[in-house]
Chain A
């Protein structure tokens, strides 16, 4: 952190040599503090000032006035004009630009231009911190990676961490503070708080309320508690619309204390997920680590047996897609299911009456399997599920003896766990009662996302003073009196706890772009040390609380470097659950439930203005830019709804209009709504997209509500779905027919997806080849001799289809690394998505409960690339290391390569998609990757810039080594080049490396018998190969892959 832009010399524009008594800036400043009548009075006072005339003279030079007064003769006019014309040309030589320019007059120490530096930091997130290593090019953060040394991430990240880079540079970020819309600065607010503190001291801060998001920063919690000690009557509430209330309530019921269940997926043979999304993204605490652990048991590369995943869920999540056996079930029926399961496992609970035969069969087989794996199984309840289900899940785990083995309990990662729903109710009641004279809202957006029936916005009017600290001017900013512009986590000091309690430091990589202030500074204002900076707060806290011996400063540097503060992981507790199974009130079978879920792309709405995330296809459903009322085929058909019809959903008397989207594999009579859309004040990117599900989300039923009625309107709304799923073999309106996705069936028929069950794989490890499949022409079957790659490197990639959880982290990582533009909803809708990497989803089997396969698809770098010979100008060629390279400068844009690419991975700049205008986005770009202009084709490069960086490093080291040993060789070692997608992947599904090296990881993977090339039978010889799927279904329930004809699985179900 020693090098900051402050160290750079800034050349400011030259100023006038003789300073007038009054400068324009002073005059402006004086006027800026005045409003209304005072403004005009100040202006008059200013005119009377002695320096004013001089100022005016300087601003409007005397000569000009003379000409104005005396009238202009033709002769003078021509003289003047001629002179100014001549001078107009000269100004460029004599004046400095108005904006500060920043050259290196003296180069900062240890900075080599073009060589990036990496800093460890941490992204705070409501479900736990994400430890990061951030690349900094000339002090500009340009890429976010996971911290490989941290056990939480193993170097991987999730979509939100990847995309948070764009938030930093977002031009719509709030750039100044204000009071009731008038510009103010921090010191004004400081003064206001000082006044308030004097007033509040008498009452002990009885009217003081803090409303924060879930606090996972120990320093911030300590600061708030310090303030609360000073003002004992003040209160602190935490609010996140997607909070862990049910899990916390369940632990209170079970243990009488807050406890956090942690799962050891690497130790589990059987996993049951009940509406949980532990493989679906950061909305589940510990997702990155959990998916890594879970997938470790599915790689079939080690001697650990493959695990089996049962999923009972009310939506089709990526977790469900990976399930070996999956049962769609309404969210409100799942607790009853869990109760029935508990009773089968002998732990009390209600019986299995009321379930269909199919569900009974599933229950029995599941119970049998769980019993057989008692102590080596896990039952995971969903975060978006009731407290009863969390209680039942814990009781099932207890009955199976899993607790202490595969499920352990620790203290929660929140510093102060609380019932946030109750807290919000209490706060709003106080606000309405006029008890609150100062409400400090620290980040978050409660006006938008608080329970709608409580009317947060209306209650805000009854608050004496409301303050909102936020990076954006959002809905809450509009309603609050004070707006303080906040900071991004890359701009400030802080700390944060990961889901397992491990603390990491947040260190800034850049000074606040717009001079914002962080939550630490806001809280400090209320304390006795109002001037305490975030750095001081963090160091003060850890000086007192750090559990390391020795010199604090040395320790602190080490913690910063490692991104881990040692001995902070939450201690394991061994609480024993108490009480019986909770009573379950199942919902009427015919009632339609509405389930609210955080959005996989914009979470609770906080990323609504993040264009990368908005344009990131949501996993499984592949919708971009919007949310929708998602329902099953049958539900839509029974109500007569078509895709994209706008319907009215009425919940508790409130109505939401949203378009219908059919999602395969959803339970009937259930509608899922993603939260966070329908923003009005998100910014230029997020405004006006989607529908505000918070508008019908009351405090009584924040997770599952009952739809009173559904009405179809005449209107339709176009959705941008990047993969056309609407092709169905059978008539969708008939619930009795098995509908199949044409694309899924074709993917199996064309050998794009190759799959076998575990038993079949054991019998025949070579199942992905053989007579079922069209085999590739042999490598030697060619008229021309093959290129000799033996001398150098030969790059290749392997994608493990079994490991991909479809989380999209690679997609955003690729976009950030390669400066891929965002094109907007209209362009996406017509198929002009510009992302180089996409995760294709194929649905196979009956669409009422299909199996979804994820296939990351990007340039395959074919050895016989069809794109290469058709380019008339040779803009796409083959490199001596086997890469299919694109020469942007040479491309004239005939698009023949795109047409001839069987994988359709080429992306064309149909218009000027790259943003060359917005100044704040310029420093974000990766300087090693060209920003592509209009009319140019582009595609995945295998991150050639990273290969070249590693090559340069290796060559430099080779030269150094050769000084002592002339024969020394230094080659690029395996693992030195990580592509952006590979680095981001939580499950190591993508492996890149030198296929010439027999010991490289990629070669080892590619020599597995399951390795196959997609469409390689047309002799493209792709360098990216895929490792065929092996699924492990419980055949007592049956398999849902439904591969027609030739699949290993389900040969009895062979059809057309």
Chain B
């Protein structure tokens, strides 16, 4: 038994050795509802929240200015050039899409795998997914030379011109993959919200609040029939989302793998991109939840157990990613192809080599610390780890996009890439947009699924679907 010998240890170390519970003891249905609902239905907005929103919204304005100038002048305000035709925009796109993976994975795949610990984090993870995909979705449009045309020419619209998109292009596949993913994620998230919206409607004091939540709750009454329908729908959506988790980043990886460019033209890209996406997605969930659980006193629901589980997922996906890096290097040597060999040599030792080694440090070397229980049990250590992994994953995309392009086939055309202030402005701007959206979410909707957490309580072990099957 895990508790044996616990008393031999000083109290400060006991925590490392036991698996913390999924929900802190001593909660009742009422206390769960009350605690989570209070963050939404309170009249007093925390000052920290207001301050955070002001800062984040300020950054959104930077995004607006950067986008306005971009539309006015063209993509030439960025650092892209010949031969590096894609730069920050595509790096950011892939990075945000990757982050958007954790939400669906947590909600759908873990639901199907009956990992009940997911219930405390799935709501915010899904919200994070939606906002990350929104951020990601901006870039493909922003990066085009003529966004006013790209905005609709990339869709198969039956226009009078009779001209269709070119379905051989992976960029078109991307349009479908990302838009499908966003739509399904939104539906899934909203469906999961309905019972909680009903709770909010019933508890709201103010008339307007009640009307808004009432409309959103779509007549939820919590009858047994409602529950049966709801759970069927939720399961179906989970089933629908599961392949999407794999498909989206596979398609995104095809954006590169379909090309002839050394460093892009690689069959390992789909699995390695998906693993990387989950890796960065979980890192982002940690980045968000660790401060929030402290600020909102949610440690009872988002316990160390959640953090530990997520760090284990990161460890696993991080190793898949490491395998990917290794295979890239191995195949470039094993292929005997001079372009591939030079590509890898340049990636590791060329003028942008330090990005590669930073990426290896952030994505492979440092995360190995998570093997230590001590690190996994420290929220602060994990938070720093999540930042490191997020940076590492951004660098990975940068290395793939930029260093492959800057020295390709024809040596006369080798060039370099230098991001401009507008590149940074757009990137930081989307971080602001993401933060703003997330702050609004935690203020207006229950950040943790109330009804699902209630089902985690020992009193609730009657629902076969949400049954705690571990102990």
Q: Is the CB of B171 within 8 A of A750?
A: no
- Interface presence of A374 (CB below 8 A): no
Residues of A within 8 A of B203 (CB): none
Q: Is the CB of A832 within 8 A of B171?
A: no
Q: Is the CB of A900 within 8 A of B259?
A: yes
CA distance A906 to B147 in the complex (A): 20
- Interface presence of B371 (CB below 8 A): no
Main secondary structure of the interface of A (DSSP, over half): loop
CA distance A630 to B175 in the complex (A): 51
User: Assuming the A-B contacts A743-B414, A900-B259, A902-B408, are A910 and B86 also in contact, with contact meaning beta carbons closer than 8 angstroms in the complex?
Assistant: no
Q: Is the CB of A874 within 8 A of B166?
A: yes
Q: Which of A855, A892, A893 has the most CB of B within 10 A?
A: A892
Q: Is the CB of A894 within 8 A of B171?
A: yes
User: Assuming the A-B contacts A742-B411, A902-B410, A910-B80, are A873 and B154 also in contact, with contact meaning beta carbons closer than 8 angstroms in the complex?
Assistant: yes
**Listed stretches A264-272, A477-485, A931-939; interface member:** A931-939
User: Assuming the A-B contacts A904-B408, A934-B74, are A909 and B163 also in contact, with contact meaning beta carbons closer than 8 angstroms in the complex?
Assistant: no
- Interface presence of A405 (CB below 8 A): no
Q: Is the CB of A899 within 8 A of B169?
A: no
Residues of B within 8 A of A1018 (CB): 260, 339, 409
- Interface presence of B354 (CB below 8 A): no
Give the Cβ gap from A865 to chain B, nearest Cβ, in Å.
10
CA distance A894 to B168 in the complex (A): 15
CA distance A533 to B80 in the complex (A): 55
Q: Is the CB of A907 within 8 A of B145?
A: no
User: Assuming the A-B contacts A842-B411, A866-B259, A904-B410, are A750 and B338 also in contact, with contact meaning beta carbons closer than 8 angstroms in the complex?
Assistant: yes
Q: Is the CB of B146 within 8 A of A893?
A: yes
- Interface presence of A249 (CB below 8 A): no
Residues of B within 8 A of A892 (CB): 144-147, 149-150, 153-154
Considering only residues 81-131 of chain B, those with a C-beta below 8 Å from chain A are 81-86
Residues of B within 8 A of A855 (CB): 412
Give the Cβ gap from B209 to chain A, nearest Cβ, in Å.
44
User: Assuming the A-B contacts A830-B81, A873-B153, are A935 and B412 also in contact, with contact meaning beta carbons closer than 8 angstroms in the complex?
Assistant: no
Q: Is the CB of B409 within 8 A of A750?
A: yes
CA distance A855 to B255 in the complex (A): 31
| The one of B77, B166, B259 that contacts A899, using a Cβ cutoff of 8 Å | B259
Main secondary structure of the interface of B (DSSP, over half): loop
Q: Is the CB of B172 within 8 A of A872?
A: yes
- Interface presence of A896 (CB below 8 A): yes
Q: Is the CB of B171 within 8 A of A831?
A: no
Residues of A within 8 A of B144 (CB): 892-894, 935
Contact with A along B307-332 (1 / 0, CB 8 A): 00000000000000000000000000
Residues of B within 8 A of A827 (CB): 76
Closest-by-CB residue of A relative to B173 is A872
Give the Cβ gap from B227 to chain A, nearest Cβ, in Å.
44
CA distance A752 to B412 in the complex (A): 10
- Interface presence of A1015 (CB below 8 A): yes
Q: Is the CB of B75 within 8 A of A935?
A: yes
- Interface presence of A383 (CB below 8 A): no
- Interface presence of B369 (CB below 8 A): no
Residues of B within 8 A of A910 (CB): 74-76, 80-81, 145
- Interface presence of B416 (CB below 8 A): yes
- Interface presence of A870 (CB below 8 A): yes
Q: Size class of B's contact patch?
A: 35 or more
Q: Which of A841, A872, A890, A902 has the most CB of B within 10 A?
A: A872
Residues of B within 8 A of A749 (CB): 338
CA distance A893 to B414 in the complex (A): 21
Residues of A within 8 A of B416 (CB): 724, 831
- Interface presence of A22 (CB below 8 A): no
- Interface presence of A912 (CB below 8 A): yes
CA distance A911 to B418 in the complex (A): 17
Give the Cβ gap from B399 to chain A, nearest Cβ, in Å.
15
Give the Cβ gap from A470 to chain B, nearest Cβ, in Å.
36
Give the Cβ gap from A834 to chain B, nearest Cβ, in Å.
9
Q: Is the CB of A870 within 8 A of B415?
A: no
CA distance A838 to B82 in the complex (A): 13
- Interface presence of B261 (CB below 8 A): yes
User: Assuming the A-B contacts A893-B146, A935-B74, are A871 and B166 also in contact, with contact meaning beta carbons closer than 8 angstroms in the complex?
Assistant: yes
Considering only residues 134-170 of chain B, those with a C-beta below 8 Å from chain A are 143-147, 149-150, 153-154, 163-166, 168-170
Residues of A within 8 A of B154 (CB): 872-873, 892
Considering only residues 748-780 of chain A, those with a C-beta below 8 Å from chain B are 749-750, 752, 774
Give the Cβ gap from A931 to chain B, nearest Cβ, in Å.
15
Residues of B within 8 A of A871 (CB): 166, 169
CA distance A831 to B261 in the complex (A): 19
- Interface presence of B184 (CB below 8 A): no
Q: Is the CB of B168 within 8 A of A869?
A: yes
Give the Cβ gap from B381 to chain A, nearest Cβ, in Å.
40
Q: Which of B77, B171, B342 has the most CB of A within 10 A?
A: B171
Give the Cβ gap from A679 to chain B, nearest Cβ, in Å.
27
Closest-by-CB residue of B relative to A937 is B145
Give the Cβ gap from A574 to chain B, nearest Cβ, in Å.
48
- Interface presence of A746 (CB below 8 A): yes
- Interface presence of A898 (CB below 8 A): yes
Q: Is the CB of B412 within 8 A of A831?
A: no
Q: Is the CB of A899 within 8 A of B146?
A: no
Give the Cβ gap from A762 to chain B, nearest Cβ, in Å.
29
User: Assuming the A-B contacts A724-B416, A936-B145, A1018-B409, are A911 and B165 also in contact, with contact meaning beta carbons closer than 8 angstroms in the complex?
Assistant: no
Residues of A within 8 A of B83 (CB): 831, 898-899, 904
Q: Is the CB of A841 within 8 A of B75?
A: no
User: Assuming the A-B contacts A747-B411, A874-B166, A936-B146, are A904 and B82 also in contact, with contact meaning beta carbons closer than 8 angstroms in the complex?
Assistant: yes
Q: Is the CB of A830 within 8 A of B418?
A: yes
| The one of A840, A891, A911, A1015 that contacts B409, using a Cβ cutoff of 8 Å | A1015
- Interface presence of B73 (CB below 8 A): yes
CA distance A728 to B24 in the complex (A): 64
Q: Is the CB of B75 within 8 A of A893?
A: yes
User: Assuming the A-B contacts A746-B411, A935-B75, are A899 and B86 also in contact, with contact meaning beta carbons closer than 8 angstroms in the complex?
Assistant: yes
- Interface presence of B413 (CB below 8 A): yes
CA distance A840 to B77 in the complex (A): 27
Give the Cβ gap from B136 to chain A, nearest Cβ, in Å.
16
CA distance A238 to B409 in the complex (A): 52
- Interface presence of B59 (CB below 8 A): no
- Interface presence of A947 (CB below 8 A): no
Closest-by-CB residue of B relative to A903 is B410
Residues of A within 8 A of B84 (CB): 831
Q: Is the CB of B171 within 8 A of A896?
A: yes
CA distance A935 to B85 in the complex (A): 12
CA distance A72 to B172 in the complex (A): 66
- Interface presence of B270 (CB below 8 A): no
- Interface presence of B235 (CB below 8 A): no
User: Assuming the A-B contacts A873-B154, A934-B145, are A752 and B411 also in contact, with contact meaning beta carbons closer than 8 angstroms in the complex?
Assistant: yes
Q: Is the CB of B260 within 8 A of A866?
A: yes
User: Assuming the A-B contacts A891-B146, A892-B145, are A870 and B170 also in contact, with contact meaning beta carbons closer than 8 angstroms in the complex?
Assistant: yes
- Interface presence of B428 (CB below 8 A): no
Residues of A within 8 A of B172 (CB): 872
CA distance A749 to B260 in the complex (A): 19
Residues of B within 8 A of A857 (CB): 410, 412
Residues of B within 8 A of A898 (CB): 82-83, 85
User: Assuming the A-B contacts A870-B258, A871-B166, A1018-B260, are A895 and B81 also in contact, with contact meaning beta carbons closer than 8 angstroms in the complex?
Assistant: no
- Interface presence of B281 (CB below 8 A): no
Chain A positions near chain B (C-beta within 8 angstroms): 723-724, 727, 742-744, 746-747, 749-750, 752, 774, 827, 830-833, 838, 840-842, 855, 857, 866, 869-874, 890-896, 898-900, 902-904, 906-912, 934-937, 1014-1015, 1018, 1020
* Contacts beyond the supplied A830-B418, A873-B165, A904-B409: 6 A-B pairs with Cβ under 8 Å: A750-B338, A857-B412, A892-B150, A903-B410, A904-B83, A912-B74
7 nearest CB pairs, A to B = A893-B145, A935-B145, A910-B76, A911-B76, A840-B412, A904-B413, A895-B85
Instruction: Give 13 A-B contacts (CB < 8 Å), ordered by A residue.
Output: A742-B411, A832-B81, A866-B260, A892-B144, A892-B145, A892-B149, A892-B154, A896-B86, A896-B255, A900-B260, A903-B413, A906-B82, A937-B145
